[in-house]
Structure 1
């Protein structure tokens, strides 16, 4: 039995498209529950009109982690499917999620990927949504984390680890952190690249920076520092790590070239290596949106590496260094 949970805060037209896509799917869920996180735009009433069961949360919005937990409390399905309110599932998405879970009893969860056809036309939205697609399409099949944009979890596994951490009071890394706890309990999560959905979100430069830095980089780096290690996958693979180093080497060399001009060659070399490391992604952007998206993607991706690695250096690195220092002292004979 499938229970689909859709948390929403002021979902607007995106929520309508989200629920319509679920209604058009080849596999209709036994339960479709929309958790209205104190919306002010009538999202709850819209969801009721479209046939969903609505759980209304009062007071101030408490974030999708809390909303999903509240939905799971009233859901009765043995498989819970999480779909974000700005996501349109493909017609076969729910069927594929269910089939994967039913054919492998050892799986606690499975999640898919955004497709390569985001709807928002502006360059920032095209870049960011296609970056999400690219990362999941090149991630490891056996995942250490979870993705709540479009993913399924067995209800008993979800409850066994306590659900999402409600301390995340805004959209952040609550799904990543849930996946880490699931795998720490010896449970398996799988990334199935063929299970896809369309991201409807429109990004501006400001919302992108706010989400990337405050919603992801800062809490993710805090979690890495707390745990003492980082998964070697998705946004933390070798290409990403080296690109972060190269981006800062390029910027610092370029700045120092005003005093020592030969360092401009070092900056150019770092930029060239960075582009070569990420050439497949940049080629993909060019193929999807032409030269304008290709060039914008290079600039935005370089900025992404700069601010992400800066947050890592300021937030995660000191904690990791302190943990290693303490471990070294413990290992020394007294």
Structure 2
């Protein structure tokens, strides 16, 4: 008798993550499933890991992308429900149980997607920020979804085949899952977001890897998809508050530029000093071996602040800033014998940091254009305050504070992505008016057990 659920895992050079992924699947409370691993042109021992775990193995002739790999897995699946997960996630003990229950409880349900949990495997700042933002968005969005997510998403096989699966023209990990979700939504299929259907993300993000993924693999293609389908739902990352935040961040930049022209470099010095203090916790976590670019960026920012303080005769601003950074550095790098000692040191560091921030605020100019800058900044922070509270509850207040400038940067490059996506969409409409979206093709695939 065929399994109730077919779990499909595409993998490319992720043997270490895949091993953990398959081990957690075996610990599921729901055992009526088959596991199909599709090795998408890996050069490591991903295939051997899949075989050792007893998974059904499919291999492609070369790297073709996760959309292609998932379609291959779906063709081999025996279950009525296809459950897609990435190789770098681990299911919770009840994840498969939640998948099965959702479809059993609602015969009209076409697809369901879950969420990352709020305890990411990697505890560095960038990974915490990225994974917890995903968790927050999925836990606060409407349960009636209008898209799909293949990192932890299930769909009826009959519907998946009816819609020809994922669009294989996406040869890199991109928005092939969102694109499928938009097609399903346009056909009035019922889609569900279940925030209790959890997986743990194992990936360790880097700063520049995060930006590249958000812009090139997500932001620009997603914009083109929105314009192609003329669909801009007020949900997930496209909520109205997020769109307003993007517009306000660009207004904030204009205000900062105009205020600098009117007031001079002293305004820039104060703003960069506040930025440095907010990023201090991120800076002390950066290590040369793992995050050399981040460390260089923080040291470069400090050097530029020292230079501006020197040329504006504001050298008195430098010592308190350096002391604040040094206190956080020593607290992060040296362990305390008791929890009480760590709490006391944290309170002292926090008090000193707050005092330094207040001291820097007193140095800020308070003229009309500067006040507009402060007002816009406060509005953006308030619009996203629930996310910062969510972060503070799971990472601590210092890391939540460091997340604010990263979130402003996130809104900024989302705006850039939207602009580039619009230009590309118009260009393609003008020069390739008869271009159609490719459908899933027959695949070159070898089979193994």
TM-score strictly above 0.5: yes
Compute the displacement of 1:317 (Å): 7.7
Q: Secondary structure of the equivalent of 2:54?
A: coil
For residues 18-97 of structure 1, the aligned pairs below 5 Å read 18-59=21-62, 61-97=63-99
Compute the displacement of 1:316 (Å): 3.0
For residues 197-216 of structure 1, the aligned pairs below 5 Å read 197-216=199-218
Compute the displacement of 1:228 (Å): 2.1
Q: Matches of 1:228 and 1:8 in 2, distance apart? A: 33
Compute the displacement of 1:182 (Å): 0.9
The residue aligned with 1:147 is 149
Q: Matches of 2:425 and 2:47 in 1, distance apart? A: 42
Q: Secondary structure of the equivalent of 1:260?
A: helix
What's the CA shift string for 1:236-278, capped at 9, x where partnerless?
A: 1011011101111111110111223432221111110011111
For residues 151-166 of structure 1, the aligned pairs below 5 Å read 151-166=153-168
For residues 1-334 of structure 1, the aligned pairs below 5 Å read 1-59=4-62, 61-261=63-263, 262-316=368-422
Given that residues 10 and 70 in structure 2 are in contact (C-alpha distance below 8 angstroms), is that contact kept between their aligned partners in structure 1? yes
Given that residues 27 and 92 in structure 1 are in contact (C-alpha distance below 8 angstroms), is that contact kept between their aligned partners in structure 2? yes
Compute the displacement of 1:318 (Å): 8.7
Compute the displacement of 1:82 (Å): 0.5
What's the CA shift string for 1:203-246, capped at 9, x where partnerless?
A: 00011011100110010011111122312110010110111011
Q: Which has the larger radius of gyration?
A: 2
Distance change >3 Å, CA 206–CA 232, structure 1 → 2 = same
Q: Secondary structure of the equivalent of 2:159?
A: helix
Q: Matches of 2:48 and 2:425 in 1, distance apart? A: 46
Given that residues 24 and 91 in structure 2 are in contact (C-alpha distance below 8 angstroms), is that contact kept between their aligned partners in structure 1? yes
Distance change >3 Å, CA 318–CA 81, structure 1 → 2 = closer
In the alignment, structure 1 segments of 5+ residues that lack a partner are 324-334
What's the CA shift string for 1:114-172, capped at 9, x where partnerless?
A: 11000101100000000000010011111110011111100000011110000010111
Q: Matches of 2:393 and 2:189 in 1, distance apart? A: 38
What's the CA shift string for 1:269-297, capped at 9, x where partnerless?
A: 11100111111101111121113321221
Given that residues 112 and 154 in structure 2 are in contact (C-alpha distance below 8 angstroms), is that contact kept between their aligned partners in structure 1? yes
Higher helix fraction (1 or 2): 2
Given that residues 115 and 197 in structure 2 are in contact (C-alpha distance below 8 angstroms), is that contact kept between their aligned partners in structure 1? yes
Q: Matches of 1:139 and 1:102 in 2, distance apart? A: 23
Q: Secondary structure of the equivalent of 1:19?
A: helix
Q: Matches of 2:423 and 2:61 in 1, distance apart? A: 39
> Higher RCO, 1 or 2 (CA under 8 Å, sep at least 6)?
2
Q: Matches of 1:267 and 1:239 in 2, distance apart? A: 19
Q: Secondary structure of the equivalent of 1:259?
A: helix
Given that residues 8 and 37 in structure 2 are in contact (C-alpha distance below 8 angstroms), is that contact kept between their aligned partners in structure 1? yes
Given that residues 88 and 202 in structure 2 are in contact (C-alpha distance below 8 angstroms), is that contact kept between their aligned partners in structure 1? yes
Given that residues 113 and 192 in structure 1 are in contact (C-alpha distance below 8 angstroms), is that contact kept between their aligned partners in structure 2? yes
Compute the displacement of 1:313 (Å): 2.7
Q: Secondary structure of the equivalent of 1:146?
A: coil
Q: Matches of 2:210 and 2:417 in 1, distance apart? A: 15
What's the CA shift string for 1:39-61, capped at 9, x where partnerless?
A: 111101111101111101122x1
Compute the displacement of 1:319 (Å): 5.6
Q: Matches of 1:71 and 1:92 in 2, distance apart? A: 23
TM-score by structure 1 length?
0.93
RMSD of Structure 2 on Structure 1 (CA)? 1.6
Q: Secondary structure of the equivalent of 1:120?
A: coil
What's the CA shift string for 1:11-30, capped at 9, x where partnerless?
A: 13211111111000001243
